[in-house]
Chain A
Amino acid sequence: MSLLSKIRETVLCLKAGRVTLPYPAEPRPVPPRFRGRPIFDAAKCIGCAGCANNCPAREILVHDVCQELRIIQYLGRRCTFCGRCADVCPEKAVTMSHDFETATNAIADLSQRLELFMSTCQRCGRCFPEPSPLERLKLKGYRFDDVASERWIFHSKGYLDAESTVADIRIDLD
């Protein structure tokens, strides 16, 4: 009885054949609707910061250096590849690629940075003045994220903290 069951198991295993994929040696295609790493296109981007305002993980930072220069930085550390940036982009400048082989040994490798020219009004030729900290609270278009320390600044704050929002908890280790 026991021997018979062993033989049956052997036959079953032999019938199944080899199922292991030769993955790292050969490429493995992804399903067509797979969402991989988002790719930002500087030529199409109009700098509306819709992706930054809709990112649930707050991984896209916008910093207005001056009137004409806007920096959009995608950090990608905690990106969940939800594809909302690609959904809201009016110019289809963000596309979700099929790129899943994103393992690195440095987390900064995942970042993408756009330095965009933002033009002034050609009709009146007027540049808008720099908003005061109080006026920044009301403005929806202006963003002053902290690109240097890779931090998203909340809208309700008109000033920059020295400490990060998540680093203010001290860890006591034994």
Chain B
Amino acid sequence: MIKQLCRKMFRKSLWVYHANSGGCNGCDIEVLNVLTPYYDAERFGIKLVGSPRHADVMLCQGPAMRPTAAALRRAYEAMPEPKLVFAIGSCACGGGIWHDSYNVLGPVEKVIPVNYYIPGCPPRPEAILYGVALALGLVEKKMCPVTLQRRRLPIPRYHPESLVGTGIEIVYKDAEKV
């Protein structure tokens, strides 16, 4: 649904604003790498602008930190509607490796709503391009939550409370009991 909405609202070129709220510059370098002729994000109409008031998309790098959270929020509110927010890198997606540090508030979604997440430390330029193409509806999403259950018991289950000393072999049929 959000893809349809994106396709409808962002039909023309996306102008991106590049906000770093306390990252290590690794993701910044990868984002600038995307704008070089080698990866050439401008063929999708993506242009880097210097002011949030001109931008449609905000690229967030770095976790939400205590000194920069208010500034990040103000930059987000300065963007005209409709707006998209990309969280690029592990810091912006989940708080980064120093998530429990005294100055780190956590992921940027604690301060501003995030539409797309691009994990990686730093993400490859291709991964960033993939995220942008996902937002534009050019590619399909490949991720979904996975649950792997290994409940099939390799050996009979032993429950001391249901043990009955009969003297012969005891077979546990109630394998579903936990």
Contact = CB atoms under 8 A, between A and B. Distances in A.
Interface of A: 19-21, 23-24, 28, 30, 40-43, 45, 56-59, 65-66, 68-69, 75-82, 99-117, 119-120, 122, 125-127, 165-167, 169, 171-174
A24 B94 contact: no
A162 to B, nearest CB: 17
B178 A75 contact: no
Interface stretch (B12-20, B45-53, B54-62, B101-109): B101-109
Interface of B: 2, 37-40, 43, 64, 66, 69-70, 73-74, 90-91, 93-97, 99-100, 104-107, 109-111, 115-121, 123-124, 126-127, 129-131, 133-134, 138-139, 141-155, 157-160, 178
B50 to A, nearest CB: 23
B105 A114 contact: no
Contact of A78 (B73, B93, B158): B93
A20 B43 contact: yes
A76 B119 contact: yes
3 closest residue pairs by CB, A with B:
A77-B94, A78-B94, A103-B131
B94 to A, nearest CB: 3
A20 B38 contact: yes
A117 B150 contact: yes
A60 to B, nearest CB: 13
Contacts of A116: 150
Nearest to B3: A105
A100 B127 contact: yes
Contacts of A114: 147-150
